[in-house]
Amino acid sequence: MGLRTVRTALVGAVVAALATTGLATASAAGAGQDAGAHGATRAAMAAEVKAGIPGILGQVQDKLGTWHGSVGVADLATDRQRLPQDRFRIGSISKAFVSTVLLQLEAEGRLDLDDTVERRLPGVVRGNGHDGGRITVRQLLNHTSGVFNYTKDPGMVEKLTSGFPEHRYDTYTPRQLVAIAMKHRPDFRPGQGWNYSNTNYVLAGMIVEKVTGHTYAAEIQKRVIDKLGLRATTLPGTSSLMPSPHGRAYGKLSDAPDAEIVDTTELNPSWGGAAGEIISTTGDLNRFYRALLGGTLLPERQQKELLTTVPMDDAGGGYGLGVTSATLSCGRTVWLHSGGIHGSTSLAVSTADGRHTAAFNYNGDWRADLPALVEAEYCGGKPAAAALKTNSALAAVTSLR
């Protein structure tokens, strides 16, 4: 969501407090697995808390059952531990929900992924070299459109960082967000490159609304949330409130090592819109990824389109339609997406068959060693430093938030 800068320092007193209060817990179903199957995952989570993140929440679903892990605290003021049912903002993991709806609409014959944006949204993508007549819906979803990322606009960056306290409750419409992007030149000609742009998914949400006559939120609710029984997943729109239960979210609004930690729990997520407004839980994310990768949400043709990737420049890794893929140090290939918004960094991962899923959330946004978490869960431990360093694909796909 444009707030993925890794920040490294935390006030020493906070680190000390977390080191003494950071306990890991496991569900009754998964308690016996912790020392074995998920011991490395817990260790990776604990390392992140030791490095300064207030708390990390995780859940894994695999052939052994369901494992819950919690390290650190949900609230720095009360030291409450994080709970399996805690809700959090998932940021760009929202993109897979949007792409699923568009793929379902294609399966119903209501649109084609090779339709132009101009056909579906006449006159919206135009100006400074942008031409919606040359951009397809597919190129929006796999980030090959070249459309400028509005969260990179200097004015927007200021509002989302140093200006956050003043602008945290501002409301943006999708048209306003796209208009910000249209003030800039495209990153490249459509289909001639790759660049992560939140504008792509704001436009995708607008297309859902144009085709169906309903908001993208209503379509996601009907087609995904209700169908899968994701009872803790919501699209808040312009509401700044978090549904209970939830912990607190903590952010740093600059890269300075001594930057103040700010409580960012309440914010108006309309600046993210279809690119990243959703609130969910680790359990709901695992259920969604199990269904999505398992093929229960899409027909075979659309499933193939979902998982057809394009290269992410020289970094390695592949971007599909709202999901990414990477091969780990142990040779396993996983599908995943990360998500970031003020005070919240999330990750959803799955094997290709949807049978081994994992979801995590940090309640801090200044550091996140997501590659270590993925390697720990799917390869059984942290790989040698040299192996992790050379795995540019995993580093690249886990940075997309």
Which residues are catalytically annotated? 92
Distance from the Cα of residue 252 to its chain's centroid: 19
CA distance 179 to 369: 34
Q: Select from 86, 53, 88 the least CA-distant residue to 71.
A: 53
Closest CA relative to residue 375, chosen from 329, 317, 318, 323: 329
3-state secondary structure of 310: strand
Round to whole Å and give the CA distance between 327 and 342. Answer: 29
Nearest alpha carbon to residue 360 among 91, 126, 102: 91
Question: What is the Cα–Cα distance from 118 to 134, expressed in whole angstroms?
Answer: 8
Tokens for 153?
């606009």
Quickly count: other Cβ atoms within 10 Å of residue 144's Cβ.
Answer: 24
Helix (H, G, I), strand (E, B) or coil at 66: strand
Kindly list the distances between the CA atom of residue 393 and the CA atoms of 156, 195, 315, 359, 400, in Å, as whole numbers in the listed order: 29, 15, 6, 19, 12
Q: Is 299 exposed, middle or buried (0-12, 13-18, 19+ CB in 10 A)?
A: middle
Other Cβ atoms closer than 10 A to 236: 18
